[in-house]
């Protein structure tokens, strides 16, 4: 079993949460929502966000007090063995997390689990890095990559997933940066090519039914890859790193190598994201495109002054407000699959659980008679397929 959690229970919890969202959007009745919760029971303890934050902070404070107390007692006696003791402590913490809280008490992302998870992961990373007195930067980066990847896969942790993909980016950068010469100059293109491969691979993984409990993790990888592709081709990023880290000296009027290529990439990548996102109705691409589009505007504004900044900002704000008003009025009704209405209180990633399971629990008592279209599949009550 790759995941520390029971996959059936994880899936059942996702169905229940999805049913609640359907109920809040008035797509199903309270009785149907209760029937779904009864049909897909799960023993997990998964409190609301406020309780999770409180448990997270309280657990971290408690763990910090315990580790600080033992360090004061035994720090000097075991000073030479602190890295090994940190690793042993981390492994023991992972064991306690799984046996006591996940398996015995059925905690699932309760706040307490995240606190213990990050606490254990931090001690493990510091223990490995401490073996070289934190002088081996490569060891630290690869340890972070492997640790975060393990935590993301086994415990379905989204923050660790993001940390893992960023650690991979750091590993690629510093490994080629340390080689020097031509290897430093090809780093931007390695980012573009490498994370493009990861992006398309993650899209394939997201379609696999046997990986359904990791879909949110895969979406994090997908989104982070899109941003890293853009950063690899962004003129400002490439220029500033070349000057500050690669000792590139530029006289007045000089520019970085392949400057025109990076100018074009800074413009083209956001445009491609936006076009493909609109054409294929992919919410991840649409939202990432808005982020990188803003970054492109900042990039050109950073190097080229088009006048008084207060005038530029005022004009830009007025234009954006007018565009927003026009789009809001235009999308009052569904047009070619787009609408301003948030019909299902949709999550940012658009990776909802297969809702045909919900429809199968409704029996003949459907509150939605017409089909609701989403992506490539359909949802139409008790006989709906699993393509939603």
Which residues, 6+ apart, have CB-to-CB distance to 203 below 8 Å? 222
Separation CA 136–CA 85 (nearest Å): 19
- Residue whose entry in the numeric block shows the structure tokens 């493009």: 196
Angle, in degrees to the nearest 10, between helices 137-155 and 158-179: 150
Q: What is the DSSP letter of 3?
A: S
Q: How confident is the model at residue 283 (pLDDT cuts 50, 70, 90)?
A: confident
pLDDT at 224: 96
Does 238 score more than 50 pLDDT?
A: yes
Would you kindly state where each structural domain of the chain is located, as residue ranges? 1-41+308-388, 180-304
**Pure H helices in the chain:** 7-24, 30-39, 49-74, 82-96, 112-130, 137-155, 158-179, 182-185, 187-206, 215-233, 235-244, 259-280, 283-303, 309-330, 356-362
Per-residue pLDDT at 364 exceeds 50: no
Taking residues 365-370, report their average pLDDT. Answer: 41
Task: Decide which of 383 and 2 is more confident.
Answer: 2
Quote the pLDDT of residue 176.
Answer: 92
Phi, psi of 373, deg, nearest 5: -95, 135
CB 199 within 8 Å of CB 143: no
Of the candidates 357, 350, 359, 259, the residue with the CA atom closest to the CA atom of residue 8: 357
Q: Give the model confidence (pLDDT) of 154-170 as tens digits.
A: 999 999 999 999 999 99
Say if residues 211 and 218 touch (Cβ distance below 8 Å). Answer: yes
Whole-number average pLDDT of the chain: 81
pLDDT at position 325 is 83
Give residue 44's pLDDT band: very low, low, confident or very high (50, 70, 90): very high
Q: How far apart are the first and last CA of the chain?
A: 27
Ranked by mean pLDDT, the top range of 54-58, 79-83, 333-337 is 54-58
Place of tokens 């031509």: 182
| pLDDT tens for each residue of 145-203 | 999 999 999 999 999 999 999 999 999 999 999 888 888 889 999 999 999 999 999 99
Non-local CB neighbours of 343 within 8 Å, separated by 6+ positions:
25, 372
Residue 358 pLDDT level (bands cut at 50, 70, 90): very low
């Amino acid at each position: 079993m790759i995941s520390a959690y029971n996959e059936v229970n994880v899936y059942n919890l996702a169905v229940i949460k999805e049913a609640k969202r359907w109920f809040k959007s008035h797509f199903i009745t309270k009785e149907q929502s209760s029937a779904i919760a009864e049909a897909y029971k799960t023993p997990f303890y998964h409190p609301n966000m406020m309780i999770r934050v409180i448990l997270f902070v309280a657990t971290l404070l408690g763990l910090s007090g315990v580790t600080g107390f033992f360090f004061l007692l035994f720090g000097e006696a075991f000073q030479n063995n602190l890295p090994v003791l940190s690793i042993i402590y981390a492994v023991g913490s992972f064991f306690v997390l799984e046996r006591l809280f996940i398996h015995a008490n059925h905690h699932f992302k309760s706040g307490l689990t995240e606190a213990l998870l990050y606490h254990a992961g931090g001690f493990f990373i510091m223990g490995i890095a401490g073996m070289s007195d934190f002088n081996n930067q490569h060891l630290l980066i690869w340890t972070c990559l492997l640790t975060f990847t393990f935590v993301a896969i086994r415990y379905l942790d989204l923050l660790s997933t993001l940390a893992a993909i960023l650690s991979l980016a750091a590993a690629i950068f510093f490994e080629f940066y340390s080689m020097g010469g031509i290897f430093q100059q090809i780093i931007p293109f390695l980012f573009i090519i490498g994370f493009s491969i990861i992006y398309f691979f993650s899209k394939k993984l997201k379609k696999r039914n046997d990986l359904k409990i990791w879909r949110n993790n895969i979406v994090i990888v997908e989104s982070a890859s899109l941003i890293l592709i853009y950063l690899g081709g962004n003129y400002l990023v490439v220029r500033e790193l070349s000057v500050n880290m690669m000792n590139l000296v530029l006289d007045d009027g000089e520019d970085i190598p392949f400057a025109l290529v990076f100018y074009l990439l800074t413009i083209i990548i956001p445009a491609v994201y936006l076009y493909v996102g609109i054409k294929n109705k992919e919410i991840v691409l649409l939202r990432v495109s808005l982020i990188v589009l803003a970054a492109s505007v900042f990039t050109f504004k950073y190097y080229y002054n088009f006048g008084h900044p207060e005038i530029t900002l005022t004009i830009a704000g007025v234009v954006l407000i007018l565009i927003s008003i026009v789009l809001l009025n235009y999308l009052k009704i569904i047009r070619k699959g787009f609408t301003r209405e948030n019909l299902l209180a949709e999550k940012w990633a658009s990776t909802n659980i297969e809702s045909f399971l919900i429809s199968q629990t409704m029996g003949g008592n459907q509150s939605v008679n017409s089909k609701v279209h989403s992506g490539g599949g359909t949802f139409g009550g008790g006989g709906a397929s699993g393509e939603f």
